[in-house]
Amino acid sequence: MSDSTRLGVVGAGAIAQLAHLPVLAKMRGGQLVGVCDNDRPKARALADRFGIPDAMGDIEDLLELEELEAVVIATPNHLHEPHVLSALAAGVDVLCERPLALNAKGVERILSAATRSGRKVVVGNNYRFRTDVQALARFIHGGELGKVTGIRAGAYQFKRPAEGWRLRRPESGGGAFFDHGAPLLDLALWLAESPEAERVTASMERARSAASVEDSMVAAV
């Protein structure tokens, strides 16, 4: 068996093409052995571009690869939970793009499955690993800045085209908050060392008739 961790990528969309595959293809200690997408020709083209031996059209085929050790789940939101559960059932570790599932019950099912299988599940909350955030965390957690009494975070983005799965709630699970708010909330809570929430208030708006998800949201914890 190779000293490198044998990795697979599920999903061949923008985040896989622009972030995961370019990094994993060059990462020391990792070996990309397969990529899968329901658009198999796209998966094959990406496999050829990044020197990956196998391309599949179904996650089950990827999970049958010999000595596969870990997968990256980079599919649309509604597929995260079933794909993570399939990977855990196959006995491999998982890095999943956020959100881990569309609701809390889905997250609980994944955590239970991870415990039963003894495998690791990590959510792609990559903001925690930015160099500026790591430096700030050292100051906060080391006490140099005193006691944290509040954190304010926000994100402003250009409007998305009025089409695609991200604007359909059954597939996306949510809009502005799932895309931009949840990772900022995770970052704020992590920097504050995960205090227990006593009260939460939130409001959201949906301005575009073509979308079934929110365009904007404000939350106070």
Which tens digit of pLDDT belongs to each residue from 97-154? 999 999 999 999 999 999 999 999 999 999 999 999 999 999 999 999 888 899 999 9
Same domain, 44 and 79: yes
CATH number of the domain at 59, please. Answer: 3.40.50.720
Domain boundary among 80, 106, 124: 124
- For residues 70 and 157, which has the higher predicted lDDT (pLDDT)? 70
pLDDT the model gives residue 155: 87
Domain boundary (124, 144, 176) is at 124
Claim to verify: residue 17 and residue 38 sit in the same structural domain: yes
**94 near 120, Cβ under 8 Å?**
yes
How many domains does one find in the chain?
2
Residue range(s) defining the domain that contains residue 131: 127-220
Helix (H) or strand (E) holding 122: strand 121-123
> What is the pLDDT of the chain when averaged over all its residues?
93
Looking at residue 37, what is its pLDDT? Answer: 97
Name the pLDDT band for 59 (thresholds 50, 70, 90): very high
How does 204-219 read in b/e, with b if 16+ C-beta sit within 10 Å?
beeeeeebebbbebee
